[in-house]
Amino acid sequence: MLLHTIYLVAIVAEAMSGAIMGMRRDMDLFGICLIGTVTALGGGTIRDVLLGHYPLSWIANPEYLLFTIGAAIVTAVVARVLHHARTVFLVVDGLGLVAFTVIGCNVAMSSGMAPGIVVVAGLITGIFGGVLRDVLCNEIPWVLRRELYATVSLLTGGLYVGLLSLKIDINIASLVAIGAGFLFRLLAIRFHWRLPSFNGATIRGLD
């Protein structure tokens, strides 16, 4: 199935992005493999723990761990070359974001959740791997600060749930939501779209 193939590509891409961040924090080979795995599988893990949806996907399919560990090791070996692949990364990461979102929505729907929770489950699947990566790297999570990233996940999930509520075939709804979300993410990257932020300095005294 197409969605499953995209999923495997996405966890490889996310594991590589985690591994790169681990290398920049001077982690050893174990740390690089762990941070890559957490980045790739952490969002789905948090979703399943919050929904009480057992077994977790990587426990039911331990081969996912081989994908993420293998991707992290390859990244560590060829990182100098990856230097030139920044754009490819951003594109594959964007595809992963929307694929994770749709998969997360599917898991929540199969557990009988309300539509709002389905969208939230997609969001958690899409962004919490990166949140865990940043926490382990001792950074404020990037997704909380900059760019249209979480917003892409929310709109993708909302579109997907909306299409399904109109009784549109699930394969068509998946393709439309993934296509529209992916396009939106590419446009957000290209044109540096951002959500508003607020000047924290004005409230410096309030803590």
Q: Which of 109, 157, 137 is closest to 31 using CA atoms?
A: 137
**Cα separations (Å) of 160 from 69, 180, 189?**
31, 10, 22
Provide the minimum distance between the beta carbon of 83 and its own copies in the complex, in angstroms, as a whole number. 5
Provide the minimum distance between the beta carbon of 164 and its own copies in the complex, in angstroms, as a whole number. 17
Instruction: Pick the stretch among 27-35, 156-164, 168-176, 182-190 that binds its own copies (CB under 8 A).
Output: 27-35
| C-alpha span between 100 and 93 (Å, rounded) | 10
Residue type (1 letter), 139: E
Residue 143 — φ and ψ, nearest 5°?
-65, -20
Q: In the numeric block, which tokens belong to residue 200?
A: 């924290």
Instruction: Pick the stretch among 2-10, 19-27, 158-166, 185-193 that binds its own copies (CB under 8 A).
Output: 19-27
Provide the minimum distance between the beta carbon of 3 and its own copies in the complex, in angstroms, as a whole number. 24
The interface with its own copies within residues 73-112 (CB under 8 A) comprises: 76, 79-80, 82-83, 85-86
Look at the block and give the residue holding tokens 């919050």: 50
For 61, how many CA atoms within 13 A lie in the half-sphere containing its CB? 9
Q: Is 57 in the site for its own copies (CB under 8 A)?
A: no
C-beta separation of 29 from 76 below 8 A:
yes
Provide the minimum distance between the beta carbon of 5 and its own copies in the complex, in angstroms, as a whole number. 23
Q: Is 26 in the site for its own copies (CB under 8 A)?
A: yes
CB contact set of 170 (below 8 Å; sequence gap of 6+): 164
In this chain, which of 166, 190, 192, 203 binds its own copies, going by CB under 8 A? 203
C-beta separation of 64 from 57 below 8 A:
yes
Q: Is 30 in the site for its own copies (CB under 8 A)?
A: yes
The interface with its own copies within residues 111-150 (CB under 8 A) comprises: 113-114, 116-117, 120, 131, 135-141, 143-146, 150
Q: Is 55 in the site for its own copies (CB under 8 A)?
A: yes
Q: Is 20 in the site for its own copies (CB under 8 A)?
A: yes
| C-alpha span between 14 and 99 (Å, rounded) | 12
| C-alpha span between 127 and 14 (Å, rounded) | 11
Residues lying near its own copies in the complex (CB under 8 A) are found at: 20-32, 34-35, 45, 49-52, 54-56, 59, 62, 65, 76, 79-80, 82-83, 85-86, 113-114, 116-117, 120, 131, 135-141, 143-146, 150-151, 194-198, 200, 202-207
